[in-house]
Every structure is written in C-alpha cells, then in structure tokens.
Amino acid sequence: MSEHRKKVRKLWFRAKTYGWGWFPISWQGWAITALYALLFSLSFIVFFSWLGVASEAAVSTRELVFGILEFLVVIALLSYSLYRICSKWGEEPRWRWGKD
C-alpha cells in the first residue's frame, strides 16, 4: 500500500500581521516584489516621459485619453499578476488584527 503524503509547498509570501495582504519571506518572493516595483517604476517613467513629449507636441485629446488608459491597463495588469502570484504562493489572505 502506498503512502499518500501531502505535498508541502514552500511559501514565498506570508500574510501580514495587521490588515490584508502579504509580505515576501523567501528569495523568490523578494525577487517577484522587486520585479513588480521595477516594472511599476518603469511604467511611470515611460508614461511621464511620454506625457512631457505629448505636452510639447500637438497631441489630440483622444490620443491623450488613450495614452492614460494604456498606462492604467499596464498598471492594472501588473498589479493583478502580483496578486495572482501572491495568492498561489502565499498564505490564505484574510483581514487580521494581530497574531492569531
């Protein structure tokens, strides 16, 4: 008879002590968090650079609105991706008010 062992997965994120969310606890979690911060920052730099060029050039209102929407979509996709990774590799999320 074969033993059924529960496969224990290593967590990359643990639940925060106060509030809702996660905190990285492994090198993988820190790498994902750093990558998210880098891509988020680059998105801001590219957007504000484009915004500066757009203010000097004759950019229509429609192009400006679409530029802002593209930026918001990129930020939303980055944040959703981080959320999915934290959900998969982290503890169960729930609201906490200190240690259980």
**Tell me: the pLDDT tens digits for 46-59?**
998 888 777 777 77
CA atoms in the 13 A half-sphere facing the CB of 8: 1
Q: Poorest-confidence range of 9-18, 40-49, 50-59?
A: 50-59
Q: CA–CA separation, 30 vs 73, rounded Å?
A: 24
Tell me phi and psi for residue 80, to 5 degrees: -65, -40
Q: What is the pTM of this model?
A: 0.79
Confidence (pLDDT) at 24:
95
